[in-house]
Chains A and B, each alone.
Chain A
Amino acid sequence: MPQTATTSWWPTATTLLLVAALLLVPAPALAKTDIQFWHAMTGQLGEAVNELVKQFNDSQSEYEVKPLRKGTYPETLTAAIAAYRQRQAPHIVQVFEVGTQTMMLSGAVLPVFQLMKEQEIAVDWKDFIAPVVGYYSKDGNLYSMPFNSSTPILYYNKDAFQKAGLDPSKPPQTWKQVEEYSKKLISSGATKCGFSTGWPSWVQVENMHALHDQPFASKRNGFDGLDPKLLINQEFGVKHLGQLAAWQKENVFSYGGRAGAADPKFLSGECGMYMQSSALIGGFTKGASFKWGTGQLPHHGAPYKKATSIIGGATLWVMKGKPAAENRGTARFLKFISDTNQQMWWHVTTGYLAISNSAVKNLETGYHFKKNPDQFTAFAQLTKGTATPNSQGLRLGNFVQIRDAIESELENIFAGKKSAKQGLDDAAAKSNDILKEFAAANKQ
């Protein structure tokens, strides 16, 4: 019947229109602003990053952080630079610690303290742990947001210790003990080699100098000037590296390559002890088929003081040139990840250090460290020694090239091609050239 048909579709139509109107109105509010976040984390760590970002995205509706793995640390940095030159830079980029000086002097970054001030977000800067703040601040202000920090520690194979007749609850504390234990491990057949190391320059040169209160470079390790001179070829460096070279011949020490290439030596049981980043705790927990423990890095003892080790890892830098509305999202994300809860979560999930004192305190009161003593080793090493000017960290330009030069020469030393003195002299000479280049290119 036409009459009823006409009258019956009106209510439906009006309802539909109303519903449509209601749906349309909030639509603009649903559009989130994207924040590009470039990082270099792979595997489990990459998944942890994604999870952390998801937590932030889910916690609010204005901004969506988009994480993207751009490659390794150097590749990520290069990509960010190239993109910046094209005015297509991301908002946040993860840069490793050796890129700090390059970033600081670049004129392409918005220092974190400034960002927070502009965005009027309150951050308790004093809450961050001292070694981290020291490394990434200039004139007392934090330039980048600490994200994944670690420090090298000693891992040891408890099962192998047992087999060799060593006390599995007592890791070596001095280098003399390391030699002794290594020889016992080898002679008892428990392992093939005594110990190995990851990141040769970071662990055996940079950290060893810091731990023994020895200067790595002049001008307070580069904090006071743009072209310091390397001091790794002084008495301490020659002694320590010479010792390693001698041990290489006896299999007490077995060189396994740069970065994490030597990890399998420990995991496979070939070497009984291993010096690597504390961030490997998670990975070892999953991948090791034997009982293992951690200890602080060994020390030579007198006459050297026992200072602290230095941090490694990376921080998050904010790129300049973005509109204020987007900067707000960036600021909120950085605040989010440095909150105590997120820090604790990050630490427990990845093994990286929690970087604020409140987070550390919470972990302590939650008996986290009692249940996971290994994760406390790194903290202890960083905070319980005597902090000296030599253990604050390093601030050198073109540090990537410098590390490469040092590790090349270390390979020559371990292979017996050069004496420790010769190799370190060459490394220092090359590095000094690199630093001169850097100073010239960054004349202020």
Chain B
Amino acid sequence: MSAVGATQVGARVRAQAAAAPRQTRIPWGSLLLHAVLIACIALVVFPLYFAFVVSTQDLQQVVQRPPRLLPSSHLLENYAQAWRKANMGVMLFNSAVMAVTVAVGKIIISMLSAFAIVYFSFRGRMLCFWMIFVTLMLPVPVRLMSTYEVIGTLGWLNTYSGLTVPLMASATATFLFRQFYLTIPNEMAEAAQLDGAGPLRFLFTFLLPLSWANIAALFVVLFIFGWNQYLWPLMITNTEAMRTVVIGLEQIIPRSGTELPTWNLIMAGAMMALLPPVAIIIFMQRWFVKGLVESEK
């Protein structure tokens, strides 16, 4: 089923459903369904809820058994303490810069490459194609040490460039754009050429408007990817001023074994670290689903 076809069908189905609701065989089934769904959702949401509860307790309450399941009263002081201890303000800023830069940068270069590969025939096209796509799933740890040396040679240690550019090296976005462009009917490009439009005009006036859902979805995915990086920022930043928030969280967790974990502060830090990407998902949910799913495989 082609992507475009699927969405058209989907739209039709939804229209039909809205117009004429189907009779279910078991009338009380929908109540049961809701109950089951709510139970499942409760299960999924519980870890986060519990983390929130812990972030409002003091240390004695954290280790207490049986555990308390309702929020306590120390929310403000815990969050304030966690904020101070880990210097959250600066780090949230750095995480934001990193996430946005990686997302936007990747989207731009991927869109241009995918456009070139799909809409041009040039020498070395297949080579470029394979070279780019071979990086499709390259995990950061695998190229960590050697990439670090490359960054050092370029003089990009402890800079935003060093933090963001190496993370743009994989082809997930290019992949998505390529698949999407392949589903655009040929007639569009033909019509544009007949109209005398050059390739760049075609890109900006035809393809770009169609791609907004994809771009939004990619932005969400890449933002989250950039925000949640741990190992790379830890290695590449030398000063407190450049650190990101996921690392800040690790800083509150004492690991040298000579200190006791202050779980309430750790959970407060965790809440602060996960709030922005989760907020982005919730607010951009519609585009995220549309863009990601519609471009299919």
A residues lining the B interface (CB < 8 Å) = 36, 40-46, 68-69, 71-73, 75, 79, 82-83, 85-86, 88, 150, 198-199, 259-261, 263-264, 267-268, 276-277, 279-280, 283-284, 286-287, 289
Distance of A294 from chain B, by nearest CB (Å): 15
Distance of B197 from chain A, by nearest CB (Å): 49
* A46-B252 Cα distance, complex, nearest whole Å: 10
* A264-B254 Cα distance, complex, nearest whole Å: 13
Contact partners of A36 in chain B: CB under 8 A: 238
B258 touches A88 (CB 8 A): no
* A43-B152 Cα distance, complex, nearest whole Å: 30
Contact partners of A45 in chain B: CB under 8 A: 254, 256, 258-259
Question: Please, which residue of chain A has its CB at the minimum distance from the CB of B65?
Answer: A268
Contact partners of A41 in chain B: CB under 8 A: 256
Distance of A425 from chain B, by nearest CB (Å): 27
B260 touches A68 (CB 8 A): no
Contact partners of A68 in chain B: CB under 8 A: 238-240
Q: List 16 A-B contacts (CB under 8 A).
A: A42-B252, A45-B258, A68-B238, A72-B255, A82-B145, A82-B148, A82-B149, A260-B259, A263-B260, A264-B63, A280-B258, A280-B260, A283-B258, A283-B259, A284-B260, A289-B60
* A85-B152 Cα distance, complex, nearest whole Å: 9
A287 touches B59 (CB 8 A): yes
A73 touches B256 (CB 8 A): yes
Partner of A198, one of B59, B235, B257, B261: B257
* A75-B250 Cα distance, complex, nearest whole Å: 12
* A301-B5 Cα distance, complex, nearest whole Å: 82
Question: Please, which residue of chain A has its CB at the minimum distance from the CB of B253?
Answer: A42
B257 touches A86 (CB 8 A): no
A42 with B251: in contact, given A68-B238, A82-B145 (CB under 8 Å)?
yes
Contact partners of A46 in chain B: CB under 8 A: 251
Contact partners of B252 in chain A: CB under 8 A: 42-43
* A73-B254 Cα distance, complex, nearest whole Å: 11
B257 touches A259 (CB 8 A): yes
Question: Please, which residue of chain B has its CB at the minimum distance from the CB of A258?
Answer: B257
Contact partners of B271 in chain A: CB under 8 A: none
Partner of B254, one of A43, A79, A86, A267: A43
A42 touches B254 (CB 8 A): yes
* A79-B250 Cα distance, complex, nearest whole Å: 16
A267 touches B152 (CB 8 A): no
A42 with B255: in contact, given A68-B240, A82-B235, A86-B157 (CB under 8 Å)?
yes
Distance of B8 from chain A, by nearest CB (Å): 52
* A182-B256 Cα distance, complex, nearest whole Å: 28
Question: Please, which residue of chain A has its CB at the minimum distance from the CB of B265?
Answer: A43
Q: State which residues 201-260 of B face A: CB under 8 Å.
A: 234-235, 238-240, 250-260
Contact partners of A267 in chain B: CB under 8 A: 63, 260
Distance of B243 from chain A, by nearest CB (Å): 10
Partner of A43, one of B145, B234, B235, B262: B262
Distance of A147 from chain B, by nearest CB (Å): 13
A42 touches B256 (CB 8 A): yes
Contact partners of B258 in chain A: CB under 8 A: 45, 150, 260, 277, 279-280, 283
* Extra A-B contacts (15), CB below 8 Å, given A43-B85, A68-B238, A264-B63: A42-B253, A42-B259, A71-B234, A71-B250, A72-B256, A79-B235, A83-B238, A88-B157, A259-B256, A267-B260, A268-B63, A280-B258, A283-B259, A283-B260, A289-B60
A277 with B257: in contact, given A68-B240, A71-B234, A88-B152 (CB under 8 Å)?
yes
* A68-B250 Cα distance, complex, nearest whole Å: 14
* A350-B43 Cα distance, complex, nearest whole Å: 42
Contact partners of A198 in chain B: CB under 8 A: 257
A260 with B148: in contact, given A68-B240, A75-B234 (CB under 8 Å)?
no
6 tightest A-B contacts by CB? A260-B257, A86-B152, A259-B257, A279-B258, A42-B254, A43-B254
Contact partners of A284 in chain B: CB under 8 A: 260
Contact partners of A40 in chain B: CB under 8 A: 256
